[in-house]
Structure 1
Amino acid sequence: MEGEEASTRLVETPPNDEDAQELQKKGENEAKGAASTEELAVRRDTGDSSAPREHLRADQDRTRLDHRDSGADALPKPSAAWRDKQRSTNLSALDSFPLKHSNTLTNRQRGNEVSALPATLDTLSIHQLAAQGELSQLKEHLWKGENLVNKPDERGFTPLIWAAAFGEIETVRHLLEWGADPHTLAKERESALSLASMGGYTDIVIMLLERNVDINIYDWNGGTPLLYAVRGNHVKCVEALLARGADLTTEADSGYTPMDLAVALGHKKVQQVIENHILKLFQRKALE
């Protein structure tokens, strides 16, 4: 009985003032420690580096020790209320931050002025239109005056020569239908056939040959359509010229024949085409 009464009195007896103060201080210290630990975890999660590194390492070490004693495997996570508060603060900071403008300046911002406007179709000559294959605008120019179809420029190039040089096959076809002269030579004896062969435009070469142009026409340095086709390694064009009677013995001013040029440049396929053509010529001669 006495033991039970003593136990009851021990439970019911309120602590004295000194004991109460000591318990209160202990509770406050524990609360502060928990708050520091929670704030530290939030700083780690949000990447906050406002606290000194030494302070962070000390807090982290102490937290790890506390958790080893309690058997925990990870740092305590911040509460949901703390996360919401932190997120709200970050969004407010973003809203108040000024927008970042591009640092790329335009010509107008730099104070530069356009010195020349790009050429439009209205400002192009008939020769430029032919070289670019602008058929509709080319027709408008041809309707404005006579003899424009064979009008030479400062180099003696006609619209047909320009179209052939740039491989504009439809423009070449239409110019021939409108009366363009395929035999015209420029100031340095450039021809539509030679320039088409230089570019390897086989369809245009054939189209011009059907108009009975000189297949062996030479320019200022002795270049022929066949020599230009060989130099450009245009196999199909070489075949077309040889099939229509191009002369294999013609030499340029440099002394090269088409075969010499093919060997010097290492154009194996062109060499084979020329060899096959020579073989056919011998066979044909033997039959005669």
Structure 2
Amino acid sequence: MLTNLQRGNFRAKTPEVHSEERGLHQLAAQGQFAMLEQRLKEHNSDVNATDKHGLTILHWAAAYGQAQTVNFILDNNADVNVVGNHEMTPVLLASARGHADVLARLITDGADVCCTDESCTTALMYAAHGGHHHCVQLLLEAGSDFLATNSNGRTAFDIAIAFAHTTVQQVLENHMCMLFESG
């Protein structure tokens, strides 16, 4: 049996990316908040500056579940309801990926839990689609509209059923029952 070297195959080298070469958005996605803080101060950068996709460092940190970085960014006056391309907001990204700790901080700082993307998909729908019951619970407690429909006419409950996310379905049913009993 021939080895890779005998066949003429060489191990590919991954290029090293030095920290000074990484952009602010990449640092936010990787949770490098200390380095991010240093770079923001050195370059007097705006925490609400967008990348070529219209996303801020808060979008990136929220999407990748970097709770400490999200805290740092919000503590430095980032716009919690900043809207990027395709009408994406940090709360939509955190909900889609199931980052409940990040979502909780965004909600605490006044994130709009009823915002929608360009297809009228809400954070609650994203969380239901991903089966993220903790995010669903947080969003319902914060006043998310569970009756809202997306451009396909589906609610978060419809989505939970379609993807067989029974725990999410149960959280939504419990919420509906609670509203019915209190009303």
TM-score normalised per structure 1: 0.59
Aligned-residue identity in percent: 34
Could you tell me which residue of structure 2 aligns to residue 176 of structure 1? 74
When normalised by structure 2's length, the TM-score is: 0.91
Query: 1-side partners of 2:9 and 2:168: how far apart?
Result: 56
What 5-or-longer segments of structure 1 have no aligned partner? 1-101
Is 1:217 the counterpart of 2:120? The answer is: no
Equivalences, count: 182
Q: Provide structure 2 residue ranges, at least 5 long, that are not aligned to the other structure.
A: none
Distance in 1 (CA, whole Å) between partners of 2:151 and 2:59 is: 23
Output the amino acid matched with 1:124: R
Structure 1 stretches of 4+ with a deviation exceeding 4 A read: 110-116
The change in CA–CA distance for 1:125 and 1:283 in structure 2 (over 3 A counts) is same
Equivalences for 1:100-115 in 2 at 5 Å?
Answer: 105=5
Q: Which residue of 1 aligns with 2:140?
A: 242
Q: Which structure has the larger Rg over C-alpha atoms?
A: 1
| SS in structure 2 of the partner of residue 213 of structure 1 | coil
Residue number in structure 1 paired with 2:15: 117
Determine which structure has greater relative contact order: mean sequence separation of CA pairs < 8 Å that are 6+ residues apart, divided by chain length: 2
Distance in 2, Cα, partners of 1:198 & 1:273? 17
Q: How does 1:2-13 map to 2 (within 5 A)?
A: none
Within the alignment, does 1:199 sit opposite 2:84 as a pair?
Answer: no
Alignment match, 1:150: 48
1:163 maps to 61
Higher helix share: 1
Quick one: distance in 1 between partners of 2:134 and 2:51?
Answer: 31
**CA–CA distance in structure 1, aligned partners of residues 145 and 128 of structure 2:** 13
Instruction: Give the residue type in structure 2 aligned to 1:119.
Output: V
Pair 276,148 (structure 1): closer, same or farther in 2 beyond 3 Å:
same
> CA RMSD for the aligned pairs?
2.2
